[in-house]
Amino acid sequence: MTARASGSAPGAALAGLVAAPVVVGLGYSAAAAIGLAGPAARGLSLVHIDRVMRDATVWRGLAWTIYAAALATALATAAAVAVAIGFRGTGIGDRLARIAALVPFPIPYVVAAAGAVLVLGQSGLLARLAAAAGVIHDPSGFPPLVLDRPGLGFILTFAWKEVPFLTFVAVSVLATRGQQLEETARTLGASPAATLRRVTVPLLWRGLAPAVVLVFIFIAGTYEGAALLGPTDPLPFAVATYERYQALDLTLRGDGFVLTLLGLILGLAAVAVFEWTRARAERLRS
Amino acid sequence: MLAAAACGHRAAARDATRDATRDATRGVTRGVTPGLASAAALARMPWDSVVARARGSTVRWLLWRGDPAINHYVDEWLAPRLAMRYGITLDPVDAQGPAILNALVVEREAGRTVGTADLLWINGETFHNLRREGLLAGPWARSLPAAALVDTASPIVARDFGEDPAGYESPWGRVELALIYDSTRTPEPPRTYEALADWVHAHPGRFTYDQGFTGLAFLTGLMIHLGGGASRFTGPFDSARYVAASARLWDWLARARPDLWRHGAAYPQGVAQLEHLFANREVDFAMSYNENEVVSKVRDGALPATSRAYVLRDGALANAHFVAIPFNAPNAAGAMVVANVLLSPEAQLEKARPDGWGDGSVLAVDRLPPEWARRFARLPADARQVPRDTLARYAEPEASPRYSELLQSDWRTHVRTGTTEDPSAGGDPESRTTRPALRSGP
């Protein structure tokens, strides 16, 4: 008991140390959002909250961000699951495929985004190749994939960048827990398709879901990639937040803190949805 | 000459030393480092005393570090000379206007009477906001020996976006807004805003401007031209003038929009993205708020070798950039010595070289010793640069920062989103800022 108590105290202290900056930041953001802190703070006021709530561009930007982050996460998840299930053997081909899926891992996000501009832009590598091959008359005829409203460049880049992380988790889940359960199912007479559907996929879902939620929250909150690849209108949420925080008009800085809090709510909502779906799945299984 | 200027300050030396000692004593009670003297108190001391206090210290300088030519000047030319002559260690840290403001506000709120930065590179809106928030030390700039050489007759150097620096910042350089074109692609670029509008319509998809500082300067210059010229925008912010001039600007932009790059539905995030589009032939014009930057950009391979800079005959916005000392600078003496070196003819000449940074001098040639005046006159010219007499002929000072603030805000809210209504229709822009219902939509 004593040992447990002494063990938990440093743990609690460490947790507090990790959480403290977030809590302080949250408190400061809340104070700045109501005019009690930050540049040009002039006392308690709801003007920043009111202005953000009435600003349609904020909500359009938020909707775009959720759409783009969800689509990029879904694509990355699908690719990671395909690699984890399709190339799980010990043969050289399977190993090479798994290694290939991990290649984007060490590339910094901002480098990936800048690279995407060079490859996907209307004067980029793909456009020039297409023009050289005669597919389009001129590179400018290439469809806009950067700074475009559908956010194709952003989605493809972040999906590509997140495949390694999700593949790593998916492969680990299957390697540590999958094999034994699958063999048991097959021993009991389950077909390969039934094993995949009833054992492998649920296992992956349970193991991968937290990572998927993390990836969604990360993509939704990313700034550099959104600034380089995202559309001008709707403006990605992170860019809109930073823009207000850097605005020449000091009275707009407080709006940036309101958006920061909204971003936090978005992240918490993603976690809540994840917990709800997991609890529901647990209930269905039991 | 510098020594003579320094002698002029000795009259107040005894009082200043007493003030500085008193400041330091108060500082101890506030938790300030003993020996710390405010910039204002130092400004009343003999220059030799300031230098003595600065000797052997470290000066942390917050400045934009995004240009290799500027970094090279600071790291390879300036820092070694400061170390050799004054034993000062220069510590350049990357930060820009809004980030500097945010950091100082946080330090003030945290009660940090001794901050982390000694010197700031700022101008325009940042100076205006820092002064309004009481985050700058001073006055001190006029006490620098080299301040006697500054071209105070120029409204571009003597004022910062129409505002009197009042000794709270010292000029460092001056620049002018230039358009950049490719002489092989566009042998005859448009020379006026009207000609530019015609060119845009005749070449759909080949022109745009960025959403950052440079693009905002382009819009401000256009608004000033459409509003009757720079002479009508001197003095404090005029709400009615903004409404009238910006209405013409929105109309100009609305007419140009269908023929802009991506039909005006997307804009480069900053000038670097615009340069990328220009270099890759997606658009035919880039911009720079440094008329000489084209030389270093071509040298670095960022722009095509046939790139040229030019200014519009309707007027080109010009401004000076400055260095300032924050209210809680731990080493104001060191900062003042650095500011003085930055103003020296030697440093200004080196900074102006087109094969280096190419930044304009803030010194008056007729106040320089003859030898230095001759050296400035012999500065080599580059064919890509705008001739100096052309720069001088079309230069126009910036208007009050409030114009840019509102322009940025209204452009973001309405033009960027393709809203067709005139943002100026919201009424008095000053009251719109504090009335959210009107700010949120026309």
B187 and B87 in a common domain: no
Q: Within a domain: residue B393?
A: no
Measure in Å the smallest separation between the Cα of B99 and chain A Cα atoms.
7
- CATH number for the domain spanning B241: value is 3.40.190
The pLDDT of residue B291: 87
Q: Are A127 and A136 in contact (CB under 8 A)?
A: yes
Give how far A252 is from chain B: nearest CA, Å: 9
Question: Does one domain contain both B168 and B187?
Answer: no
Domain count, chain B: 2
- Quick one: how far is CA A141 from the chain centroid? 31
Q: Write down the pTM of the prediction.
A: 0.82
What pLDDT was estimated at residue A274? 82
> What residues of A are in contact with residue B276 (Cβ under 8 Å)?
117
Residue B6 lies in a domain: yes
Say whether both B190 and B142 belong to one domain: no
List of domains in chain A: 29-285 (1.10.3720.10)
The pLDDT of residue B3: 40
User: Is the Cβ pair A147, B412 closer than 8 Å?
Assistant: no
- Could you tell me the maximum CA-CA distance found in chain B, to the nearest angstrom? 69
Confidence (pLDDT) at A147: 93
Q: Which segments in chain A show pLDDT lower than 50? A: 1-3, 5
CA distance A246 to chain B (A): 5
Q: Which of B266, B413, B436 lies nearest to residue A232, judging by beta carbons?
A: B266
Distances (CA, A) of B309 to A77, B289, B292, B297, B349: 49, 11, 8, 11, 21
Q: Which of B351, B380, B409 is the last residue in one of the domains?
A: B380
Specify whether B342 is located in the same domain as B413.
no
Range of the domain at B189: 178-288+400-439
Question: Are residues B16 and B143 part of one domain?
Answer: yes
How close B106 comes to chain A (CA, Å)?
Answer: 7
Residue in chain B closest to A128 (alpha carbons) equals: B280
Interface confidence, given as ipTM, is 0.79
Q: How far is CA A132 from CA A118, A142, A143, A276, B215, in A?
A: 16, 12, 15, 52, 33
Among the partner residues B109, B268, B405, nearest to A248 by beta-carbon distance: B405
Residues of A in contact with B405 (CB under 8 A): 247-249
- Give the residue on B whose Cα is nearest the Cα of A25: B106
**Confidence at residue B424, expressed as pLDDT on a 0 to 100 scale:** 58
- Whether A245 sits inside 8 A of B280 (CB atoms) is no
Residues B7 and B145 in one domain: yes
- Residue B70, domain member (yes or no): yes
Say what the pLDDT of residue B441 is: 25
- Beta carbons of B307 and B180 less than 8 angstroms apart: yes
On whether both B324 and B415 belong to a single domain, the answer is no
Is B299 inside any structural domain? no
Strand segments, DSSP code E, in B365-431 are: 395-397
**Is B170 found in the same domain as B183?**
no
pLDDT of residue A33: 93
Of A148, A227, A233, nearest to B269 by CB-CB distance is: A227
Inspect the interface and report whether the beta carbons of B280 and A123 lie closer than 8 Å: yes
Sort A261 into a burial class: Cβ within 10 Å, 0-12 / 13-18 / 19+. Answer: middle
B311 within a domain of the structure (yes/no): no
Same domain, B135 and B251: no
In this structure, the answer to whether residues B30 and B45 fall within a common structural domain is yes
Q: Domain check: are B200 and B126 in the same one? A: no
Give the mutation candidate from A36, A232, A239 for the B interface (greatest B CB count, under 10 A): A232
Query: Closest Cα partner for B397 from B249, B242, B239, B221?
Result: B221
Contacting residues of A for B267, CB less than 8 Å apart? 232
**Chain A to chain B, count of Cβ pairs less than 8 Å apart?**
90
- CA-nearest of B124, B131, B102, B213 to B171 is B124
Distance from CA of B384 to the nearest CA of A (A): 25
Alpha-carbon gap: A169 to the closest alpha carbon of chain B (Å): 35
DSSP labels for B205-230?
Answer: TS----SSHHHHHHHHHHHHHHTT-G
> Where would I find the beta strands (DSSP E) of chain A?
none
pLDDT at B435: 33
CATH code of the domain containing B10: 3.40.190.10
Q: Within this chain, do residues B23 and B137 fall inside the same structural domain, yes or no?
A: yes
Q: Which helix (H) or strand (E) holds A268?
A: helix A253-285
Q: Is residue B13 part of a domain?
A: yes
Given this model, what pLDDT does residue B1 score? 39
Q: What is the pLDDT along chain B (442 residues), one digit of tens a residue?
A: 334 434 434 444 444 444 444 444 333 333 334 335 799 999 999 999 999 999 999 999 999 998 888 999 999 999 999 999 999 999 999 998 888 998 998 899 888 889 999 999 998 889 999 999 999 999 999 999 999 999 999 999 999 988 999 999 999 999 999 999 999 999 999 999 999 999 999 999 999 999 998 999 999 999 999 999 999 998 899 999 999 999 999 999 999 999 999 999 999 999 999 999 999 999 999 999 988 889 888 988 889 999 999 999 999 999 999 999 999 999 999 999 999 999 999 999 999 998 889 899 999 999 999 999 999 999 887 878 888 788 888 899 999 989 998 999 999 988 888 764 555 555 566 555 433 322 222 2
Q: Is residue B374 part of a domain?
A: yes
Identity of the residue in B105, B404, B436 whose CB atom sits nearest the CB atom of A39: B105
Residue B295 lies in a domain: no
CA–CA separation, B227 and B243 (whole Å) = 10
Q: Residue A201: which of A90, A78, A101 has the closest Cα?
A: A78
